[in-house]
Amino acid sequence: MTSALDRWNPLTPLAAAVAMVLAAFAGPQPYAPVLVLAVALLVAIASGIGFKVTALTALVVLPAFALLVLLAAAFPDAATAQRQWVPSRAAVLDALAVSLRLGAAIAALGVVVVGVAPRRLTRALAARGLPAWAAYLVIASLEAVPDARRRADDVIDAQRCRGVPVGKGTGMRGRLRALPALAGPLIVGLVTESEERALALDARAFDPRASRTALAPIADPSAERWARRVIWLALAAVIAWRLREFAQSLTIT
């Protein structure tokens, strides 16, 4: 898929996302995660991937928030509190703080995950020195996943046709016994296939250490390179400030 982020070198949104995740955890609470979450969602909306990033974030954050509130309300520390089905303000605020940090991290990384094509990101990393073996592993893994999923479905269907008990009406022991029959052919098939792939790599004189020359290099304008330097400097400043605060708190205590 393409998004507005494709106009950028993939390393720039990646650097921004990593910095935002660290800032959400290391920055002043709760302002840093709120700011990171808002910026990430705004960038996602501006890039045309707002719905996907919001859904991705909500799918992780909302259940986590609900479980944390439930935990604090229904099962408080036995020594200090009574069970109460209406959560206290402190419990909600605690759950909100954890969920906001989590949401900020998911949204910031989600912009990169949804908005930047993995193949493009790997090419950009390869241009910055990622060795051929690492680039091969990421790209080949992404390509192997749909095939393996299809093969898993085929094996399940085939074994079901042969009478292997699957699904409802089968006890736990029966389902555990069926596991090798379903997983075995899938695993053995994938392992034996890797031998053919290894032969193909050897036949092409694949050198795991070589750095490859891209046919269509991804542009990395000097403005973006400077932007990344500024991002790392700002992040280093936030971390240094937090470490200073931490050191001061140790001195006081």
Partner 1 sequence: MPLPARRTLPTLALALIPRAVALNLALGAVVGALKLPVYLDSVGTILVAVLAGPWAGVITGIVSNSVLGLLVSPALFAFIPVAIVIGWLAGIAGRAGAFASLAGAIAAGLVIGVAAALASAVIVIALMGGLTASGTGILTIAIRATLGVSVDSAAKIAAIATDALDKPLSCVLVYLVLERLPRRLSARFRRATA
Closest alpha carbon to 126 in 144, 138, 114, 142: 138
By CB under 8 A, the residues from 37 to 66 that bind partner 1 are 56, 59-60, 63-64
Q: Which of 31, 75, 241, 246 binds partner 1 (CB under 8 A)?
A: 75
> Please, what is the minimum distance in Å from the beta carbon of residue 175 to partner 1?
4
Is cis: bond before 30, omega within 30 of 0? yes
Q: Is 183 in the site for partner 1 (CB under 8 A)?
A: yes
By CB under 8 A, the residues from 213 to 252 that bind partner 1 are none
Q: Is 136 in the site for partner 1 (CB under 8 A)?
A: yes
Closest alpha carbon to 124 in 11, 209, 228: 11
By CB under 8 A, the residues from 8 to 37 that bind partner 1 are 25
How far, in Å, CA of 75 to CA of 157, rounded? 44
Q: Count the site residues for partner 1 by CB under 8 A.
A: 72
How far, in Å, CA of 27 to CA of 19, rounded? 11
Q: Which of 35, 131, 220, 224 binds partner 1 (CB under 8 A)?
A: 131
How far, in Å, CA of 197 to CA of 143, rounded? 13
> Please, what is the minimum distance in Å from the beta carbon of residue 154 to partner 1?
10
The Cβ of residue 91 has, within 10 Å, a number of other Cβ atoms equal to 19
Q: Which of 29, 84, 149, 229 binds partner 1 (CB under 8 A)?
A: 149
